[in-house]
């Protein structure tokens, strides 16, 4: 075999690969390196933020967020596509509450009304109407989390 290897079009491989460095840390231009450094810095910030959220959540598991001093929702509502989903979600919530996995705040499950599917927008309006009927103006200053779990993804 010849000392100077060539590729299929006959150009020497040495010339074809000249100036290329396969290592990901060796960037030829300062601009892409700055961009990479910026992305890495942003990724580290996101990682630290996620870690702090998980630490806070661990502190409120099985406890009242207000007593622990960690911000959380005043009410968590889970939408269900129908009554059978609602029943199943309620059973799951009870298990999670009994095991101390959930913060001590009120949890509600609300099934969509019977009839044609109303989607997440219709479900949100339906839930807010039910909440207003049940709690009145007391809920005006609450932080309410609505989790749409009633869909039938395709």
Per residue in 89-142, pLDDT tens? 999 999 999 999 999 999 999 999 988 888 888 999 999 999 999 999 999 999
Closest CA relative to residue 125, chosen from 146, 152, 150: 146
- For 73, the token pair is 């929702």
pLDDT (0 to 100) of residue 78: 96
| pLDDT band per the 50, 70, 90 thresholds, residue 7 | very low
| pLDDT band per the 50, 70, 90 thresholds, residue 19 | low
Handedness of CA 112, 113, 119, 120 (dihedral sign): negative
Q: How many CB atoms lie within 10 A of CB 150?
A: 22
pLDDT (0 to 100) of residue 111: 94
* 15 has pLDDT over 90: no
pLDDT, average across residues 39-47: 92
| pLDDT band per the 50, 70, 90 thresholds, residue 32 | confident
Distance CA 67, CA 104 (A): 10
* 150 has pLDDT over 70: yes
Q: How many CB atoms lie within 10 A of CB 77?
A: 21
Closest CA relative to residue 108, chosen from 75, 138, 85, 132: 75
């Amino acid at each position: 075999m010849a000392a100077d290897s060539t590729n299929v079009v006959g150009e020497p491989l040495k010339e074809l690969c000249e100036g290329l460095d396969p290592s990901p840390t060796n960037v030829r231009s300062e601009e892409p390196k700055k961009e990479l450094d910026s992305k890495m810095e942003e990724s580290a910030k996101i990682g630290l933020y996620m870690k702090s959220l998980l630490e806070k959540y661990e502190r409120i598991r099985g406890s009242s967020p207000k007593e622990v001093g960690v911000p959380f929702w005043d009410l968590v509502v889970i939408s269900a596509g129908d009554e059978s989903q609602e029943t199943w979600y309620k059973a799951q919530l009870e298990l999670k509450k009994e095991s101390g996995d959930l913060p001590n705040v009120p949890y509600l499950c609300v099934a969509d009304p019977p009839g044609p599917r109303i989607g997440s927008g219709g479900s949100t309006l339906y839930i807010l109407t039910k909440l207003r009927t049940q709690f009145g103006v007391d809920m005006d200053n609450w932080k309410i989390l609505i989790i749409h779990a009633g869909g039938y993804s395709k």
